[in-house]
Amino acid sequence: MKTPYYAVIFTNMQTEDTNGYAEMAEKMEELAKQQPGYLGFEHARSDLAITISYWESLEAIKNWKANLDHLEAQKLGKERWYQWYKTRICKVEREYEFSRE
């Protein structure tokens, strides 16, 4: 990805009620991919879950947050799936990586 870009870091702890969560998460991932300004995502899950989505601009992030289907998923998350969550929005100024491949 060409810098600078933005990262939305969503950290959460789920409740015991995960019924329907995996399906909604998959739906939101597919929907996010269709949004203007979407660049990609990464996630890791254990007791603590972290999802990072990457965006071209703050405007793209704002539009994704306001998406009606995403708003419904946020509502269900607060009502059923999350014990707590935190969202951080960061500007990525530089990146580098290592790979044996």
Q: Model's pTM, two decimal places?
A: 0.89
Q: Where are the domains of the chain?
A: 11-92
What confidence tier does 65 reach under pLDDT thresholds 50, 70, 90?
very high
Look up residue 81 and give its two tokens: 């799936």
List the helix and strand counts (H, then E) for the chain: 3, 4
Question: What strands lie across the sheet with 82-92, from one edge to the other?
Answer: 38-45, 49-55, 5-14, 82-92
pLDDT at 1 over 90: no
What confidence tier does 47 reach under pLDDT thresholds 50, 70, 90?
confident
pLDDT at 20 over 90: yes
Instruction: Give strand pairing partners of 53.
Output: 8, 41
Instruction: Give strand pairing partners of 6.
Output: 55, 91
What confidence tier does 46 reach under pLDDT thresholds 50, 70, 90?
confident
Look up residue 75 and give its two tokens: 């509502």
> Is 11-92 assigned to CATH 3.30.70.100?
yes
